[in-house]
Structure 1
């Protein structure tokens, strides 16, 4: 953001993100800090370059029925990405989140838009502007909230823990399987506040294996302590990948439709 348009809050968030990156150290599934300097009151941060941009856009660009229908029909596929590649994104993020949670960091804004795709399609967690280095964080001020990715306890009580990050990971896993669909597309935030505590959860995508959906459901359990830790999630996903089964079926079938996208809904 150009300095002349940056608010005091932007500067504070920027400095906060630098502090988090310094404390976290290096990891292959986190966007790593290269260096930082201050010049005439302006703060500059150099982080590693991710040539493929953010994961959300990358997933959406893979929707070949929309971007290259001839390719889709010729190869009988709905995506340029394979089940193995999609699972690898999930493994990468889970591994990075395991590292974060081990260091007792809470991300608080885990979503496909905040994951970057680096060389060799390695997924790297980014955007640590909301991260906190505490086991439990209670948000005391109201700002724009990523409601569609938030756990029940975060929505109701503004409480964030590693287990609320696990809930967000379940939504991110749904984003991966749906090739960048908008979570709860067609529902308002008010409906989510009402329906999630009543037990409503997103349905299983048609192309998703039961085992992957079951993992999502485990991430979305009401009680935080019943959700699996990231260590378990990364092991489970790695096992699936080693099994070489098509856990995410990208083959075209009759009446195939992609999950809906609502960019306006994603802003709230």
Structure 2
């Protein structure tokens, strides 16, 4: 049996699901795009090709193996984009919580059934149908669980709104001993520069007490300010709108002092190194064209 354990974003990683870029099914039609950034690249003819994305993901797999992390991969579903493993489920403490995601993507979870079968059924949580949530919006951090959400009445109009108010309530019920802190995110179906698809698209804790943050990703200034006060200004790397667009906040921690980051994130990577963090650089710019990056394509199962 797999004994799950994830209490925060940065403790030493022992086991993870890494998505796969095999058999993506080619470039989607505009009507099938789930986010404005993919749509932008479909229109421009610059949508990434499978071969390049496979190479990018294998570079990540190599880094994980270098640090003795057990890496699970989904079984390949023909003609299905399975890169973003974080969307389909997430682990908090010893619970494996299945996401309720866009209906078109429900089959992705079955590609890791072989793994779910290794978890005690009492620890596998299926949420009620009205609860919409994706793992990119959920971050356990010490006494808190940070959750990105959108609660506007126009929620159904946004394909980019992935986590609703019922999810915030459901997570608080599952973990009554922690404080669930929700953040309203800026959503746009058409403008990738002004869309925070998930919380990890505009914020992520790193190291022991640091954070990457982008103000414009948050709809409510007081909620953004809460994070600034919580981490402290000296401990925050504020990314620009363009850096958010390129997914600078979506790196992935192997340990408090080791992260995997995109090689083009020069300003961020320099700051991380100045803070004493080892930065393992990988090429991931093609996958970034789908509005997801390193945190989005990994689903941690066990951290120390």
TM-score (norm 1): 0.28
TM-score (norm 2): 0.25
Structure number with the bigger relative contact order (C-alpha 8 A, sep ≥ 6) is 2
- Which is helix-richer, 1 or 2? 1
Greater Cα radius of gyration, structure 1 or 2: 1
